[in-house]
Amino acid sequence: MFTKILIMIVFTLNICAQGDKLEGNIFEYTKKVHEQLNELRDISPADYFKNVDTYRTELEKYFDQKKRVCEGEFSTVILAGVSETSPNQKPVKLKPEERKLCFRELKALQLTFINNMFAARKRYLEFLHKERLSELDKAREKAVKTLQDSFNKKSRR
């Protein structure tokens, strides 16, 4: 049961890895996905806007592939070694327990993605807020200084 899921996940991720021309095996690709989730969480606020879409695109592509595995799209190719169009081969479906486990793993990854995206976005917004407040203080100080300078010039005359 678990072996079937593992084989399907490995196959799907291998397809993704080949499609993206990643070096190494499927475990390296999975490790890269987990690293990206951690990088997303720890992304610097100054770099957030530049890099967030790259992380989002790559991770969502991974989630889509994993969802397809969980739904059994790749099971016939993996488990039977034939294409789904083979008339003599009955499609192999995941057992309910396997499917449940696969979706549970997908849910955990997506939850991590949402939480890490939230943390990164929150830090970015706090960074922007501090930056804007600093700009507002500088603008106020400049306005006060300009006002004082204009009155100081008038009083000297």
User: Can you give the residue ranges of every domain in the chain?
Assistant: 2-127
Using a pLDDT cut of 90, give the percent of the chain over it. Answer: 43
Angle, helices 26-42/2-19, rounded to nearest 10 degrees: 70
* Whether residue 79 has pLDDT greater than 60: no
Average pLDDT over residues 41-49: 91
Q: What is the pLDDT of residue 93?
A: 74
How far apart (Å, rounded) are the C-alpha atoms in residues 37 and 56? 9
At residue 81 the predicted structure's pLDDT band, cuts being 50, 70 and 90, is: very low
Residues 107-112: contacts with CB under 8 Å, at least 24 apart: 109/33, 109/37, 109/62, 109/63, 109/66, 110/63, 112/37
How far apart (Å, rounded) are the C-alpha atoms in residues 45 and 129? 11
CA angle 7, 8, 13 (to 5 degrees): 100
pLDDT, averaged across the chain: 79
Whether the CB-CB separation of 36 and 54 falls below 8 Å is answered with no
How far apart (Å, rounded) are the C-alpha atoms in residues 145 and 19? 60
pLDDT per residue as tens digits for the range 93-152: 778 898 899 899 999 999 999 999 999 999 999 999 999 999 999 999 999 999 999 988
How far apart (Å, rounded) are the C-alpha atoms in residues 65 and 52? 20
User: Which token pair is 89?
Assistant: 């081969």
Q: What is the pLDDT of residue 23?
A: 44
At residue 70 the predicted structure's pLDDT band, cuts being 50, 70 and 90, is: confident
